[in-house]
Amino acid sequence: MNTEGRMRIAELSKRSGVSVPTIKYYLREELLMPGELSSPNQATYHDEHLRRLRMIRALIEVGGVSVAAIGQVLAAVDGPELSTFELLGTVAGALDKQPQTPTEDIEWTRARAEVDAALSRRGWQGGRDSATDALVEVLVRMSQLGYDTWASEGLDAYLDAAERVAEIDVEHALRASNRADLVDGAAVMTILGDAALGAARRIAHVHVSAGRLGHLGEREN
Amino acid sequence: MNTEGRMRIAELSKRSGVSVPTIKYYLREELLMPGELSSPNQATYHDEHLRRLRMIRALIEVGGVSVAAIGQVLAAVDGPELSTFELLGTVAGALDKQPQTPTEDIEWTRARAEVDAALSRRGWQGGRDSATDALVEVLVRMSQLGYDTWASEGLDAYLDAAERVAEIDVEHALRASNRADLVDGAAVMTILGDAALGAARRIAHVHVSAGRLGHLGEREN
C-alpha cells in the first residue's frame, strides 16, 4: 500500500468526501485507526486511512451496514486466533441481516424441509444459520402469496447462480496475504457483491423479458 | 382465488399480523382496496385483502420498499395502457434503489466503459438506467478499494448468474393471466428474489470456502 500520501484531517475529509466530525466519530468508535501524532494536537493521516474510510462508506452507503456491525467485522482482525474459515464466518455473521424469527408452524416446517432437500441434493450441509433461515422465510412468503411452484422451479437455479458467484468471491477474498486484508476483502466482496448481483439481475430482467416478449410476440394481458 | 373467507377488519388484522391502524393507513393510501360495506360503518374483507396485505408486508419487511414505492407499483395496474414489457419496466423502476449520482470523472468513465463492454459481449444493450448506474458504482468502489481485477474476473460471472435467475423470474412473472397479477408477480419476484439470492450466496460462500480451505489445507494468515 502506498504510504507516501501524508495529510491532515481536513485533507483526509476532502479526499474521502467524509466530513471531519464523522471522521472523528469513526476514530472514537475505533473503526478508523488513529493518525500519527505530529504534535500534541495534530495528527497526520496516510493513504491507509483514506482507504479504510472508503471501505466504511462502501459498507454503509451501498449495503446499509451499521457502524456497530462494521466494528464487529474489524474486531475480528484483532480477535482471538481463528482459522481462515472461522474468520470468514465471523465476518459473514457480522454482516448478516437478521431474518424474521422462524416459527415452527406447518408452513415453516415444510419450507425448511424443501430448503434442506435442495441443499442436500448439492451435497451442501443444511442447517439453521441465519442465511438458511432467510431462504426459508422467502419460501414461506412465496407460498403465502400463491407462488408455490417457486421452491421446485426456482430454488435450484438460484443456488446454481449463487455457487457460481461464490466461487469468484471466495477466490478473491483468499488472495489476501494477511488477516486484515482477508477480513477487508470478505466484507467488501459480501456487500459490494450483493449490490452488483442485484444490479446485474435487474439488467438481465430487461434483456430476458425483451427477448421473451419480442420473440413470442407482445403478450397483452 | 378463494373468496369464501369473509371477515371484519379485526379478523383481517389477526390473520395478517398487521395492526388495525396500519390496515387503515394502507386503505387511506390506497395500497389496499376498500372492503365491501355491509352497513354504513362496517366493511367486510376477503381473502384477496389478506393476500394483498401479505404482499405489502413482504415488500416492506423483506425488501425495505417504501409505502410510496408500493403505491407506484400498484398504480401501474390502473395506469395508462402499457405493453407487457413497459409494464414490467414500470414495476422495476418503482422498486429500484437509486444509486449514487454518477459523476463524470475518469474513474466513472472507465467503469462505465467496462460495464458497457461486458454487456455488449453478451449482446445486451448498455445504457444509463439506474441498474447500470448501480453496477458502475460497484466497479468504481471496488477499484477505489484496490480490487481492480474484479471487473475483468468477476463481472462476467455475475452477469451469467444474473441471467440464469432472470430467466426463472421472467418465466414466473409472465405466467400471470391478467395485468394485476403480472404487476404483483413482478414485484414479488424482484424483491423476494433479491432476498433469496442474497441468502443463497451466503450459504454458497460457506460451502465453497469450506471446500477450498479443506481441500487446499487450512491457510493460516
Query: Residue B157 in 3-state DSSP?
Result: helix
Interface test with B, best of A202, A215, A216, A218 (most B CBs within 10 A): A202
Beta carbon pairs, A and B, within 8 Å: 294
* Residues B177-181: contacts with CB under 8 Å, at least 24 apart: B177/A221, B178/A221, B179/A221, B179/B77, B179/B87, B180/B77, B181/A221
Alpha-helix runs per DSSP H in B37-178: 47-63, 67-78, 84-95, 106-121, 130-144, 150-153, 155-173
- Answer whether residue B220 is part of any domain: no
For A38, the enclosing helix (H) or strand (E) is: strand A36-39
A10 and A53 co-located in one domain: yes
Which of B3, B15, B135, B165 best probes binding to A when mutated, by most A CB atoms within 10 angstroms? B165
CATH of the domain at A17: 1.10.1660.10
DSSP assigned state of A99: P
- Which phi-psi region, left, alpha or beta, contains residue A127 (left: φ > 0; alpha: ψ -120 to 50)? left
Cell for B165?
435467475
When computed from its CA atoms, the radius of gyration of chain B, rounded to whole angstroms, is: 22
B110 plus B21 within the same structural domain: no
Whether B80 is covered by a domain: the verdict is no
- Cα B14–Cα B16–Cα B20 angle in degrees, nearest 5: 60
Nearest-CA distance A40 → chain B (Å): 31
Whether B218 and A61 lie within 8 Å, measured CB to CB:
no
- Distance of alpha carbon B172 from alpha carbon A215, whole angstroms: 17
What grid cell was written down for B51? 393476500
Residues B120, B210: one domain?
Answer: yes
Query: Are residues B108 and B209 located together in one domain of the fold?
Result: yes
Q: Which domain holds residue B29?
A: 6-64
* Whether residue B112 sits in one domain with residue B38: no
Residue B196 and residue B106 share a domain: yes
Q: Same domain, yes or no, for B112 and B171?
A: yes
Residue A125 in any domain: the answer is yes
Q: Are A207 and B163 contacting, i.e. CB atoms less than 8 angstroms apart? A: yes
Are B200 and A154 inside 8 Å of each other by CB?
no
C-alpha cell at B87: 409494464
Number of domains in chain A: 2
Q: In this structure, is residue B90 part of a structural domain?
A: no
CA distance A45 to chain B (A): 17
Q: What is the residue-level pLDDT of chain A in tens, covering all 221 positions?
A: 444 679 999 999 999 999 999 999 999 999 999 999 988 888 999 999 999 999 999 999 998 899 999 999 998 888 788 888 888 888 988 888 776 676 778 999 999 999 999 999 999 976 668 899 999 999 999 998 989 889 888 999 999 999 999 999 999 889 988 888 899 999 999 999 999 999 999 999 999 998 888 744 444 43
B47 lies in the same domain as B150: no
**pTM score:** 0.87
Handedness of CA B9, B192, A173, A205 (dihedral sign): negative
